[in-house]
Amino acid sequence: MTLTEKILVAHTEKGTVSPGEFINIRVDLVLANDITAPIAIREFQKIGLERVFDPKKIVMVPDHFTPSKDIASAEQVKLMRDFAREQGITYFEVGRVGIEHVLLPEQGLVLPGDVVIGADSHTCTYGALGAFATGMGSTDIAAAMATGDIWMKVPPTIKLVYYGSLGEWVMGKDLILHTIGDIGVDGALYSAMEFSGEAIDSLSIDGRFTMANMAVEAGAKAGIFRVDNRTQLYIKPRAKRPYRVYEPDNEAGYARVIEYDVATIEPQVALPHSPANAKPVSQVGDIGIDQVVIGSCTNGRVEDLQVAAQLLKGRKVHARVRCIIIPGSQEVYLDALTRGLIEVFVKAGAAVSTPTCGPCLGGHMGVLAAGERCVSTTNRNFVGRMGHPESEVYLASPAVAAASAILGKIAHPEEVLG
């Protein structure tokens, strides 16, 4: 069996599973946020149960519109807060909150070998830690809160092998954009993407989170990495319960095996209006911009902010550009503060926000007007994703985003360094 199949079968009463098979699976963690939790809560209440199956295995994170931007969002959060307190569910509030997919791994709530479901499509982020994690609808989440298990079809696995050494300024974001550009937004439809190879072995945990996060942009059910020493170093100080590491069998059957020589990959940019519309930054051309966003569940971690600060230090954001930087959690914010990164950003003329999803989904803290262009480290650039349907979003790494903020146009970091 593949890594995904090994984890899934361990959460059933079966001895083996195979792609296409429908199974019931016990879950280790159920997640919902301020957009999706209220729907799940109302559906749970319709079931007629007084208590959730296990409050220790349910987490609610208000991160999309928080701090609450208006009355409607405040009401959504209040419904979550009241339900969480009533049930004893793990709940994070402003001042302790973070973007859910940054926060949960930090807090040791997601561990290798887990099955995690979340009412958010980017729940697949946790595959970076060797967990099977996938997004589901709010009604599925309501049922899971009641029963502690889910019903699903076993996905086939696509093995992606990245060999060679990463070039200067090439990050996990560039690898996943290049991959999606190659296979398309449906290239891994309802499949598990298993990332491997020597380039992956040398990739940081932050880079792996980025790649797993965007597996869903290729249509995948999940993105997953094997657990190695880097994973263990990240997990061990955070884990508050036992966990189990699984390995794929040597004779595991894969639907496809795709190989990439990363030495040929340069920093990427996904042009509007699809993550698959990816090109090397050198082929993008002269495109002026109005805004840069550095953050999100894709690239809001310390490594991402360090790369941005490396370019912004001693330089200024272009006079025509609004640069918004959003640490992914309170821990990331504090780490950036003690490292002096926040000072670098403020002196460069960037705005630094409290942790929030904010502009990624056109929520707040950076919504675009008609005709405006934004370079963003987020994960989607669909029509109207970040605001007006006549605005444009260009997806890139923190390195390309920071360079673009300085030059006022989409730029390679080397253009800043001369």
CA dist., res. 372 & res. 369, Å (int): 6
The span from the first CA to the last CA of the chain, in angstroms, equals 50
Predicted pLDDT at 33: 97
- Looking at the fold, whether 22 and 93 belong to one and the same domain comes out as yes
Residue 238 and residue 323 in one domain: no
Q: Do 227 and 287 belong together in one domain?
A: no
Q: Which residue has the tokens 């001693």?
A: 314
205's enclosing H/E stretch is helix 205-213
The tokens for 10 are 């361990």
Total domains present in the chain: 2
pTM: predicted TM-score of the whole model, two decimal places: 0.97
Q: Where are the alpha helices (DSSP H) in 329-412?
A: 330-338, 341-348, 398-407
Same-domain check for residues 205 and 287: no
- The per-residue pLDDT for 418 is 78
> How far apart are the C-alpha atoms of 86 and 417, rounded to whole Å?
55
In terms of Cα–Cα distance, which of 351, 343, 345 is closest to 312?
345
Contact 131, 115 (CB under 8 A): yes
CA distances for 69 relative to 62, 93, 329, 359, angstroms: 12, 14, 18, 12
Give the residue ranges of the chain where pLDDT is below 70: none
* Nearest C-alpha neighbor of 398 from the set 295, 265, 319, 328: 295
Alpha carbon distance 157, 254 (integer Å): 5
What is the C-alpha to C-alpha distance for residues 401 and 395, in angstroms, rounded to an integer? Answer: 8
Question: Which tokens belong to 367?
Answer: 């919504």
**The dihedral of CA 384, 386, 392, 395: what is its sign?**
negative
Last residue of a domain, one of 260, 277, 312: 260
Closest CA to 337 of 395, 283, 346, 289: 346
Angle between helices 302-312 and 205-213 (to 10 degrees): 100
SS (H, E, C) 138-176: HHHHHHHHHHCEEEEECCCEEEEEEECCCCCCCCHHHHH
pLDDT digits (tens, 9 = 90+) for 1-26: 999 999 999 999 999 999 999 999 99
Picking from 260, 288, 316, the residue at the C-terminal end of a domain is: 260
The domain boundary residue, chosen from 260, 279, 305: 260
Q: Are 151 and 298 within one domain?
A: no
Q: From CA 268, how far away is CA 264, in angstroms rounded?
A: 12
d(CA 175, CA 169): 11
Is residue 72 located within the same domain as residue 172?
yes
Give yes or no: residues 226 and 284 share one domain.
no
Number of continuous H segments (helices) and E segments (strands) in the chain: 15, 18
Task: Tell me the HSE value of 270 on the side-chain side, using a 13 A CA sphere.
Answer: 30
Question: What's the CATH number where 273 sits?
Answer: 3.30.499.10
Sign of the alpha-carbon dihedral angle for 314, 315, 316, 317: negative
Same domain, 195 and 281: no
Based on the domain organization, do 274 and 239 belong to the same domain? no
What 8-state DSSP symbol labels residue 88?
T
Q: Do 65 and 95 sit in the same domain of this protein?
A: yes
User: Which residue type, as a one-letter code, is found at position 206?
Assistant: D
345: domain range?
A: 268-417
Domain identity same for 332 and 409: yes
Does 282 share its domain with 167? no
Q: What share of the chain is helix, strand, coil (3-state, %, to 5)?
A: 40, 20, 40
From the list 128, 114, 123, the residue with the least C-alpha distance to 141 is: 123
User: What six digits make up the tokens of 255?
Assistant: 């639907």
